[in-house]
Amino acid sequence: MPKRIDTITSAIGWSTPDKIQVHGLDLPSQILGHINLGDMAFMQVTGRKPTEQESNVFNAIAVTLVEHGITPSAMVARLTYMGAPESLQAAVAAGLCGLGTVFVGSMEGASKMLYAALPPEQAGKGADLAAIAKQTVAEHRAARKIVSGLGHPVHKPVDPRTPRLFDIAAENGMSGDYVALIQLIQKEAEAASGKTLPINATGAIGAICCEFGFPEEIIRGFGVMSRAIGLVGHILEETRNPMAFELWQRTEEEILATCGPDAAAAST
């Protein structure tokens, strides 16, 4: 059991009948109209407002993660909303539950890999990144594990989001050892496997999050924040141009066509 604390407290925020403070700032006068949503997310995690350069990079990360078409999370949100249109929040939550090691949450895996290969206290101190990349890929291959942040089912040979994210990081002085390391890991992995393995957007974001120094256990949360916005948009579109019923009905029809009694009779 955790040790009982003497006083319950939080550094994030508090309110009284006439005041609301968030991270030491007055919400109405110092935040509203002064801080955009991305900067607010940054402050919520770090406890401070970002610099201009940090804001540019963090907002690019957040915007990248909002939308990627009819993904499994978007489909789940739409299907859940079809069954429970009175509960928009449940549909969003259902979609967010699928952000794991394969979709969106893979940025956490990339950051964990990079932090393990190059601990933060060693970054920027002249480490042999090529040797680290070679060892990282060799260890993953020996363990028969995929290299986090590499590969994409659609975007080949380049994920078009990745170069732009790296450009924005470089333009704002946030392209260091971790960005260089994941690029070296990609080259090493492609050479070792003989396959085209682009750095995907979440791999790029994982590396840039390491440049920020974000704790690895919170990095998936940036995807959760951003994708929630995207899912609200999908649910609104579902109310105007629904596809969930069609997905359900066509699945039923196609299963019957291949596995139902008529299909069984036709095969004999």
According to the model, what pLDDT value does residue 263 have? 66
According to the model, what pLDDT value does residue 169 have? 98
The model's confidence at residue 3, banded by pLDDT at 50, 70 and 90, is confident
The model's confidence at residue 257, banded by pLDDT at 50, 70 and 90, is confident
The model's confidence at residue 266, banded by pLDDT at 50, 70 and 90, is low
According to the model, what pLDDT value does residue 130 have? 97
Taking each continuous run of H as one helix and of E as one strand, the counts in the chain are 12, 3
Alpha helices for 84-200 (secondary structure H): 88-96, 106-117, 129-142, 161-171, 177-193
* CB atoms closer than 10 angstroms to residue 243: 17
Q: How many whole angstroms separate alpha carbon 167 and alpha carbon 162?
A: 9
Instruction: With CA atoms as reference, report the closest residue to 96 among 68, 112, 61, 72.
Output: 72
Fold of 106-218: Cytochrome p450-Terp; domain 2 (1.10.230)
- pLDDT, tens digit (0-9, with 9 covering 90-100), for 210-226: 999 999 999 999 999 99
User: Between the CA of residue 30 and those of 16, 24, 25, 50, 71, what are the distances in Å?
Assistant: 17, 10, 6, 14, 38
58-61: long-range contacts (C-beta < 8 A, 24 or more apart)? 58/212, 60/164, 60/165, 60/168, 61/165, 61/205, 61/208, 61/209, 61/222
According to the model, what pLDDT value does residue 22 have? 95
Q: Is the pLDDT score of 267 beyond 70?
A: no
Q: Which helix (H) or strand (E) holds 16?
A: strand 13-16
Task: Compute the chain's Rg from CA coordinates.
Answer: 22
In this structure, of 90-99, 151-160, 199-208, the range with the lowest mean pLDDT score is 151-160
DSSP state at residue 13 = E
Q: How many whole angstroms separate alpha carbon 189 and alpha carbon 192?
A: 5
According to the model, what pLDDT value does residue 4 have? 83
Which of residues 183 and 253 earns the better pLDDT score?
183
In this structure, of 89-93, 137-141, 198-202, 264-268, the range with the lowest mean pLDDT score is 264-268
Question: Quick one: average pLDDT of 67-88?
Answer: 93
According to the model, what pLDDT value does residue 268 have? 57
According to the model, what pLDDT value does residue 81 have? 96
User: Between the CA of residue 143 and those of 75, 136, 171, 181, what are the distances in Å?
Assistant: 33, 11, 37, 20
| Apex 219 CA angle, 231 and 32, nearest 5 | 65
According to the model, what pLDDT value does residue 132 have? 97
Per cent of the chain over pLDDT 90 is 82
According to the model, what pLDDT value does residue 36 have? 96
- Three-state SS string over 210-237 comes to HHHCCCHHHHHHHHHHHHHHHHHHHHHH
Instruction: With CA atoms as reference, report the closest residue to 58 among 66, 50, 46.
Output: 50
According to the model, what pLDDT value does residue 265 have? 62
Task: Enter the tokens of residue 233.
Answer: 């948009």
According to the model, what pLDDT value does residue 67 have? 92
According to the model, what pLDDT value does residue 78 have? 96
Domain map (residue ranges) of the chain: 106-218
- pLDDT, tens digit (0-9, with 9 covering 90-100), for 106-149: 889 999 999 999 999 999 999 999 999 999 999 999 999 999 99
Q: How many whole angstroms separate alpha carbon 201 and alpha carbon 155?
A: 10
Q: Is the pLDDT score of 195 beyond 90?
A: yes
Question: 66 by DSSP, 3-state: which?
Answer: coil
